[in-house]
Structure 1
Amino acid sequence: MTKPTEVLILGGGIIGLACAWEAARRGFRTTVVEAGEFGGQASGAAAGLLAPYSENPESPDPFFQLCAESHSLYPAWVRELEELTGRSAELRHSGSLNVAFHEADFLSLRARLEWQSKYGAGFELLDAAELRRLEPALSERALGALYCSDESHVHAPQLVGVLEEACRRSGVRLVAHAGNVTLLKRAAGEGVIVESSFAGRWQADRVVVCTGAWSGFVQEWLPVHVPVHPIRGQICAYDVQGGHIRHMVFSSQAYWVGKNDGSLVCGASEDMAGFDRSVTEQGIGRLTRWSGSVYPFLQDKRPSRSWAGLRPATLDGWPLIGCIPEAPELIMAVGHYRNGILLSPATATLVGDLLQGKSGKFGNAFGIERFSPAGKRRGVG
């Protein structure tokens, strides 16, 4: 019998766990090595938005296509996870409202309606009265909104927990608190050996790097530039028991999304702070000021909690998904920035295809080659 291919996933956030579950389903012997707790970084700090249209207002480029495809995969993907584990990821089909507070805002909303309605259903441009009917708690300053009935959200920490359990039940070996990792060997026919600070050595035929904002460490192994850097995203939550908010609401400065536990999550204040995950008064203060302006009932209310996560961003804002030409046994699945939760199913599918030697439908649009001088000249990505 042929020995199963050993796949080592570096990173136990939602992308790493999704790729591990997909690899196991395709018959690979899979191990996930996580430096700390599973879902302990950007995944656990996310608001769980599944909003391919609200997050991509400009044009139907390959990134939008990837987001839209991943969103279409979500219902069946979550249903299978929940059936396997008996746990809920709290997928809510709430719909979204992109609110206009100035007449000029309607120009961009109309432009979005024109092209996005060709790729999805349930779009409608609302006036103030129609908006108030759907979301009565909004400020009277709101002049209208672009409504998208198709967008949804999950409870990110619960989804991470469901994925972790699904991996465990599918035979994936899960190794937490492994510390830093170092590549020791990369030789033809011998696979890859990775050493961790606290969990020993691991050998695999293929390695999938899903280490988020920390993915630049690959440059210590190979003569390649990995253009991933951290963006600190600060988020807060209000206790609003009673269901004040019915939809995901987006403004030009922040978003609000209600969860099943009665909390209203507001995000995200972003800044460049290296790997500092501390919460700042300035960052949360901006969110609370906007919250009080958009929702009058929040004007004198303080958030019940605040937190921050490090979002892995690339130079062009698109994720990095693909093999490294100099080391084809290494696959990158990093740089998802604000859309790691949304892009998990599609990323896992692309990685699964790469593990099986298949070329994905997006070609090299998300490959590392686009950051090389030759790639830039060819217009890759």
Structure 2
Amino acid sequence: MGTRVIVLGGGIIGLSCAFEAVMGGAEVTVVEPGRVGGQASGAAAGMLAPYTENGELPDAFFQLCLDSLHRYPEWVRKIEEVSGQSAELTNCGSLTVAMHEADLQPLQARLAWQQRFGASAELIGQERLRKMEPLLHGGAAGALYCPTESHVHAPKLVAALEAACRRLGVRILEQAGAIAPPRAGSGGRVDAVVETAAYGSVSGDVLIVCAGAWANTYAALCGFPIPVHPIRGQICSFDLTGADDRAAGASVSHMVFSSQAYWVQKRDGQLVCGASEDAAGYDTSVTDRGIDRLTRWTPRVFPFLGGRAPAMRWAGLRPATRDGRPLIGMVPGSPNVLIAAGHYRNGILLSPATAAMIGDLLIGVAPRQAEAASFAPDRFARGGRAVTL
């Protein structure tokens, strides 16, 4: 029998770590207080856009995001092969639209350094932009086109990953209710036993904390603060499957980013628009104020949607840290406790790379120095900062 691994949290990160662990021969149990994929994972737009969304500098975080993008095709292939379900990985490329001439200069600066990291990007002018996305506002000055960025259908990826885990023998305990984690005993050793309201005691050899926006509740287990807090992300979608839209050929071929929102069309014809963010504690309700900001901005980029009400609207809690970087690694002094949490807006993108790091730790392979420093779970307790490469 292999190592018994308990994964605390059934979001995309927890399921990814469970999939990696069971593929490595471990006996895995996922404990989820509510529904698998019920928070940030199921609410995400599923964009895989490290160049666009992390465009400031080539630090260790950007490198991790880029590594994860490169892992995605093979990772999804394995999940789909085991589960028999599609995650709808779509290699469409992205357009970061500049509505004014002045907006092109920062895009040029970003392009200069990202080319060194395989972006294969280029600045395109108005005429070519109109050909690539005819429904965009005709007054847009240009765009940064990045052909290597992709997206998945987040709820379908979560469903496929859950199905793959189950088929491989992962025990998934949903609706477990309140979870009482173990506390460190003498010498810092933790007995891998958690108490659940619905299932009683669950025991193992290793704990992996993948609790998303609730990771801070495990600070006592780890022995240091875990400054992860929830940020509510509100998203809506426009239905482009109606007769009028089909007759007009209404379709958005690329992921489109602006300074205020993004749009990505899924294979079912839903044009997802996001995201409005606010600090609302653990409140997942959808507000008119949050969605109205998206619906006001949308016609400025896509005039054909002027006056159109969203077909759907939803919200999820994104687990944010103070520096925007995740916590990935071993708890110092407790080699049988690992953390993978605080991925904020990048949980979908970072799933394969995070799982690979956790998989290495499970077999005793230490992370690279830059990764260890940048994503160390205890870095806030000791004043650590992200490392620039």
> What is the CA distance between 1:355 and its match in structure 2?
1.1
**1:95-244 counterparts in 2 under 5 A?**
95-184=93-182, 186-187=184-185, 191-241=191-241, 242=246, 243-244=250-251
Aligned to 1:345: 352
Letter in 1 for 2:306: Q
- CA gap 1:148/1:129 in 2 versus in 1, 3 angstroms: same
- Distance in 2 (CA, whole Å) between partners of 1:200 and 1:364 is 37
Structure 1 unaligned regions, length at least 5:
none
> What is the CA distance between 1:184 and its match in structure 2?
3.6
> What is the CA distance between 1:370 and its match in structure 2?
2.1
- Distance in 2 (CA, whole Å) between partners of 1:207 and 1:373 is 23
Cα pair 1:186 1:193 within 8 Å, conserved: no
Aligned to 1:301: 308
Greater mean alpha carbon deviation, residues 351-360 or residues 64-73: 351-360
Structure 1 residue matching 2:33: 3-state secondary structure: coil
Cα pair 1:322 1:364 within 8 Å, conserved: no
Cα offsets for 1:279-316 (capped at 9, x unmatched):
11111000001111110111110000100000000000
Cα offsets for 1:142-169 (capped at 9, x unmatched):
1100000010000000000000011011
> What is the CA distance between 1:374 and its match in structure 2?
5.0
Letter in 2 for 1:139: H
Cα pair 2:255 2:263 within 8 Å, conserved: yes
- Distance in 1 (CA, whole Å) between partners of 2:203 and 2:118 is 44
> What is the CA distance between 1:191 and its match in structure 2?
3.0
Cα offsets for 1:54-82 (capped at 9, x unmatched):
11111110000000000000001111111
> What is the CA distance between 1:224 and its match in structure 2?
0.9
- Distance in 2 (CA, whole Å) between partners of 1:6 and 1:69 is 28
Letter in 1 for 2:384: G
> What is the CA distance between 1:185 and its match in structure 2?
5.3
Aligned to 2:267: 260
Indicate yes or no: 2:323 matched with 1:325. Answer: no
Structure 2 residue matching 1:307: 3-state secondary structure: strand
Aligned to 2:290: 283
Aligned to 1:368: 377
Greater mean alpha carbon deviation, residues 354-363 or residues 295-304: 354-363
- Distance in 1 (CA, whole Å) between partners of 2:145 and 2:77 is 26
- Distance in 2 (CA, whole Å) between partners of 1:225 and 1:325 is 13
Identity among equivalent pairs (%): 55
- Distance in 2 (CA, whole Å) between partners of 1:77 and 1:334 is 20
> What is the CA distance between 1:365 and its match in structure 2?
1.8
> What is the CA distance between 1:190 and its match in structure 2?
7.2
- Distance in 2 (CA, whole Å) between partners of 1:141 and 1:264 is 21
Indicate yes or no: 2:308 matched with 1:310. Answer: no
Cα pair 2:224 2:381 within 8 Å, conserved: no
**1:55-134 counterparts in 2 under 5 A?**
55-134=53-132
> What is the CA distance between 1:380 and its match in structure 2?
6.0
Aligned to 2:32: 34
Cα offsets for 1:92-146 (capped at 9, x unmatched):
0010000001222111100111011111143110011111110010012211000
Cα pair 2:222 2:331 within 8 Å, conserved: no
Cα pair 1:266 1:287 within 8 Å, conserved: yes
- Distance in 2 (CA, whole Å) between partners of 1:193 and 1:86 is 33
Structure 2 residue matching 1:354: 3-state secondary structure: helix
Structure 2 residue matching 1:227: 3-state secondary structure: coil
Letter in 1 for 2:210: C
Structure with greater helix percent: 2
- Distance in 2 (CA, whole Å) between partners of 1:306 and 1:292 is 17
- Distance in 1 (CA, whole Å) between partners of 2:324 and 2:299 is 30
> What is the CA distance between 1:369 and its match in structure 2?
3.1
- Distance in 1 (CA, whole Å) between partners of 2:253 and 2:180 is 47
Indicate yes or no: 2:49 matched with 1:51. Answer: yes
Structure 2 unaligned regions, length at least 5:
none
Aligned to 1:5: 3
Cα pair 1:205 1:329 within 8 Å, conserved: yes
